[in-house]
Amino acid sequence: MSELKQTFRLEGASCAGCVRKIEGALAEVPGVEDARINLADKTLLVQGDVTPQACIAAVQNAGYGAEQVRVSERERREQQRAEEQRHYRDLLRRCYIALGLGVPLMAWGVLGGDMMVNTPGQQLAWGVVGLLTLVVLVYCGGHFFTGARRAFLHHNANMDTLVALGTGTAWAFSMLVVVAPQLLPEAARHVYFEASAMIIGLINLGQALELRARGRTSAAVEKLLQLQEPTARVLRDGEERDLPLELVQVGDRIRVRPGEKIPVDGAVEEGSSLVDESMLTGEPLPVKKASGDFLSAGTLNKNGTLLFRAEKVGAETRLAQIIEMVKNAQSSRVPIARLADTISSIFVPTVMMIAVLAALIWFNFGPDPRAAHTLVVLTSVLIIACPCALGLATPMSVMVGVGKGAEYGVLIRNGKALQQASKLDTLVVDKTGTLTEGAPRLTDIEIDPGFAGGEDALLRLLASLEQGSEHPLAEAVLSAAREKELELASAEAFEAITAHGVQGSVDGRRVLLGNRKLMQRHNIDIGDWPQTVQKLAQEGRTAMYAAVDGSIAGVIAVADPLRQDAAAAIERLQKLGLSIHMLTGDNEGTARAVARQLGIDSVHADLQPEDKERIVAELQRGGAHVGMAGDGINDAPALARAEVGFAIGAGTDVAIETADVTLMRSSLHGVADAVELSRATLRNIKQNLFGAFVYNVLGIPIAAGVLYPLTGALLSPVIAGAAMAFSSVTVVSNANRLRWFKPGEAA
């Protein structure tokens, strides 16, 4: 029975009669082995080797509608795992059978048994062995031969070609010895059936081990897929039903109980709860969600019951997009692999020519038995050459490296970004939102002795005045008042004066808040307050004068607080050898103060948004490899200009789409993680490429017999087969070492 199963969503089917009609129509479609309808879910499950279009057409002909339901990524993975497991067992079985013949034959040869064919008895015995070997070649190595044949017809040559030619030549030569020994000199009447069988066995073993090791390289995506719930509790027709995720549609209302995962993206309609989003954003603290708030698929509902409306389902959810991006990046090319790619593309025909050339040299100039030597050299060269190790060197490391990044909330767009991140020597950082929280807070409020009233009284007046302002600093004053639960009054005659400040009336009192120019304009004596303002500015705060009813009332200061871990992250980046440049629209004094606190030397202050890109370009002209970290919203041109743009945006959709590297958590540590990871990955790639090159560059001449003058022996084709089989396993295993990568974050 075919294992291909397809699910369709039905339209118009509502009764038992419809079920019979549709199932009957499908039974007549060639390839359909079984068709079953679940009337409750209005779904159709078709088993058999048939195209979805044929099924849909049959349903439509019966008078109904059908739409294919995509298999969930997780389900698809499980199917693939099962297939892989089957393939693995298959390879092992072939390996055991081939070695079952090869090992005794080889032992016979090693223990001094006669491998020569001189008598009719030997001819008969070896003839039987030859036929057994043929069975092994066909059953255990048949795929190499069909692969080689098809590739050959397409003017292509691959690893199958080498294996098929190597083992086929050894078998054909041995059969020639068996059938017509008289054609060959006596010393050359040696059979090599054990080599054919052993090579096929070993290469199957190598492929099985490689398959195993490869499975581990995609562990990261597996983990992300685990976040996806397979079902959702959907409210339809006043009833709650557990539906497979693929059947959930936009607009469905879904209930999530405490301890359950959010199945799709959506907005809360009822209830409130804490939701753990750490798996997507890296943010360790759960976030409170109430009516109207956005929920991401894959996050965990902690303590309350939520009812929400699905807004994005299937491949549209943020989690699905992250998975898609990781998968894409995992299989993207790295520029460093270009040389290996070029070599791969001409590798097999070149090896075939080297094999023929080496064989000719041995045939013309080698010692006796020449025919046997020629054959051994030909076979060994074909078998030892391993295009796989070369081809696998980069993709395997990228696969593990990119996956590892995802585990730490570092989403790398592609192999190119990965390689460039490893070479960065300069990091340009946008101050607001990257080094700081991005939300200014009131830090100081100092009262003039002449002002009648305390801090709260002044704050209340100022907050009441600022209610009408859209300036970001106003929000700081307002939220400070909200925190203190002050009751605000309404402001009258509010006016914002550009480059000065704001003014208006609150409770009949004239209130001014702004800079020195505003105070001068209203002839207000500011006494010694400029010293305080200067001191606050040196600490990186923005200070403003407040005046009430024509006389100074005090000074308030707001600052965008530094992110807690900014200093530690900067120190880590500097230790990695990156020179840090801070960009900001703030004035020089404030900017310098922030830079001092963080240990940053280079500051570019008083910038307009468009200047950021120019500075990145200037640094690049100076020969620097520049990375840029920003929030991905207003610094997009600079992010694009930099060799690697790091978007620190807790994974906003825009950032995911545009940045080279997206940091899911709002911390510069992510940049350091990305740089460390890219360096570790590139180091791993270089080791792999070096290993694969050296293996082939040394292996092929040794197989061709260059060591013969020293050792007096040729490399056995069996050893060549073992070396080849394990070279690619070594490459994959080395790439897997990256799985133990840990970022050097102190926090």
Partner 1 sequence: MLTLIVNIAGVLLIAAIVWWFWIAGKNTAPAAGAVPSGAATEILVKNGVYEPERIRLPSGSPATLRFRREDPSPCAEYVLFPDLEVSAQLALHQVTEVRLPAAEPGEYPFTCQMQMYRGTLVVE
Footprint on this chain of partner 1 (rule: CB under 8 A): 3-4, 76, 79-80, 83-84, 86-87, 90, 143, 146-160, 207, 210-211, 214, 327-328, 331-333, 341, 344-346, 348-349, 352-353, 356-357, 359-360, 363-364, 387-388, 390-392, 395, 414
Q: How far is the CB of 134 from partner 1 (least distance, A)?
A: 20
Q: Token pair 């159709």 is at which residue? A: 44
The secondary structure of 404-457 as a DSSP string is HHHHTTEEE--HHHHHHHHH--EEEEEIIIIIB-SS-EEEEEEE-TTSSS-HHH
Residues paired with residue 554 on neighbouring β-strands, in sequence order: 447, 546
Distance CA 155, CA 349 (A): 10
Half-sphere exposure of 50 (CA within 13 A, CB side): 26
Nearer to partner 1, 90 or 240 (CB): 90
Q: How far is the CB of 41 from partner 1 (least distance, A)?
A: 23
Chain-centre distance for alpha carbon 380 = 39
Contact in structure between 495 and 504 (CB atoms under 8 Å): yes
d(CA 16, CA 423): 66
Least distance in Å: CB of 89 to partner 1?
A: 11
Q: How far is the CB of 78 from partner 1 (least distance, A)?
A: 11
Least distance from partner 1 to the Cβ atom of residue 728, Å: 9
Taking the complex as a whole, the smallest distance from the CB of residue 20 to partner 1 amounts, in Å, to 29
- By the 10 Å C-beta count (0-12 exposed, 13-18 middle, 19+ buried), 302 is classed as middle
Residue 430 annotated among the catalytic residues of the structure: yes
What torsion do the CA atoms of 585, 589, 591, 593 make, to the nearest 10 degrees? -160
CB-wise, 57 or 235, nearer to partner 1?
57
| Complete edge-to-edge strand list for the sheet that includes strand 239-244 | 239-244, 231-236, 253-256, 306-312, 265-270, 294-295
Select 661 or 672, whichever has its Cβ closest to partner 1.
Answer: 661
CA end-to-end span of the chain, whole Å? 56
Q: How far is CA 19 from the centre of its chain?
A: 44
Write the CA distances from 237 to 241, 318, 382, 507, integer angstroms: 10, 28, 68, 55
513 and 501 Cβ atoms separated by less than 8 Å: yes
Minimum CB distance to partner 1 smaller for 417 or for 555: 417
Whole-angstrom distance, CA of residue 479 vs CA of residue 432 = 19
Please give the single-letter amino acid code of residue 24: G
Q: Measured from the CB atom, is 648 or 692 closer to partner 1?
A: 692
Output the smallest distance, CB 692 to partner 1, in A: 11
Q: How many helical (H) and strand (E) elements, i.e. helices and strands, does the chain have?
A: 25, 26
Edge-to-edge strand ranges of the sheet holding 32-38: 32-38, 43-48, 5-11, 65-69
Per DSSP, the three-state class of 253 is: strand
Minimum CB separation from partner 1 for residue 49, in Å? 9
- 3 or 456: whose CB is closer to partner 1? 3
Q: Which pair of tokens denotes residue 70? A: 């995509």
| Minimum CB distance to partner 1 smaller for 365 or for 740 | 365
Catalytic-labelled residue, pool 430, 586, 631, 673: 430
CA distance 400 to 407: 11
By beta-carbon proximity to partner 1, the closer residue of 130 and 387 is 387
What is the SS3 assignment for 295? strand
Instruction: List the catalytic residues.
Output: 430
